[in-house]
Amino acid sequence: MRVLIFGATGMLGKALMRVWTDDEVTGLGSADADIRVPEQVQAQVERVKPDWIVLSAAYTDVDGCELNPQLANAVNTQGAVNIARAAARSSAKLLFVSTDYVFDGKNTQPYETDHPRNPINAYGESKAAAEKKTLEILPEACVVRTSWLFGTDGKCFPDTILKLAAARPQIEVVNDQRGCPTYTDELAEVVVQLCRGNAQGIIHCTNAGDCTWYEFAREILTLAGSSTKVLPTTSEKFVRPANRPRYSVLSSASLGKYGIAMRAWQQTLPDYLLQRGPAA
């Protein structure tokens, strides 16, 4: 199977390149192809002739998207459209990585795949539009929604918390946003399984269980053996340009239909800490 990954230099993309063996995999970063430019996308697809295209490239800076929604739309929405069209022209299958931020956070039960999209920030809007347009162009595409990604190949919450803890005796973390932390290496392995299983439609892929950012931080520091104290606080005390959903837990039912179960997020942290090594 020939696979073409757009976004291979990002945090998830690097994990995909690391775990994806036994197939012919080509990884591209933004220096190889600007997904905002359809001609560049088309040229790479024609060159590689992939059976599967994985789109993990995105502008994921949530506050940056809020401050520059035009860039968010150009990369996240139009970029996805360009890749979906190139996939359709070449009869390639497409897996598109999306986000829990397509929801408004007003639920109190895990979101199912058919729950109406209602994003509350520019990042979520750009990804929700990308989902809709991708599925219009390529109805058999696979849309993988995930959340709270962390890994050793890029900026992420655990890395930030560990660096803060190394410099401070006490930190405050918001305790009123709840979601599902997801380890990139495990998500990458699931993406490989879904492609090999010819998955279609919207699938929610997160590690099992949920928590608040405060609970996540506390578990990270406990496992790391840190003596830094973690105190809960509210989103109102950490005002940021973009609103965040208060509840964005994703149901695992859609993934279970493929016979795939992801570990509890707590079980993945030792792997992350081992791979990360001592803080710089």
- The CA distances from residue 254 to 134, 189, 204, 247, in Å, are 19, 16, 6, 19
Q: Phi, psi at residue 97, to the nearest 5°? A: -90, 120
Contact between 184 and 126 under an 8 Å Cβ cutoff? The reply is no
123 given a catalytic annotation: yes
How far is it, in rounded angstroms, from Cα 234 to Cα 196?
42
Nearest Cα to Cα of residue 261 among 190, 162, 195: 190
DSSP, collapsed to helix, strand or coil, labels residue 181 as coil
- The CA distances from residue 34 to 28, 39, 55, 223, 275, in Å, are 10, 9, 12, 40, 30
How far is it, in rounded angstroms, from Cα 141 to Cα 94?
5
Select which of 59, 101, 123, 183 is catalytic.
Answer: 123
With b meaning 16 or more CB within 10 Å and e meaning fewer, what string describes 251-263?
bbebbeeeebebe
C-alpha gyration radius of the chain: 18
Q: Which residues are catalytic?
A: 123
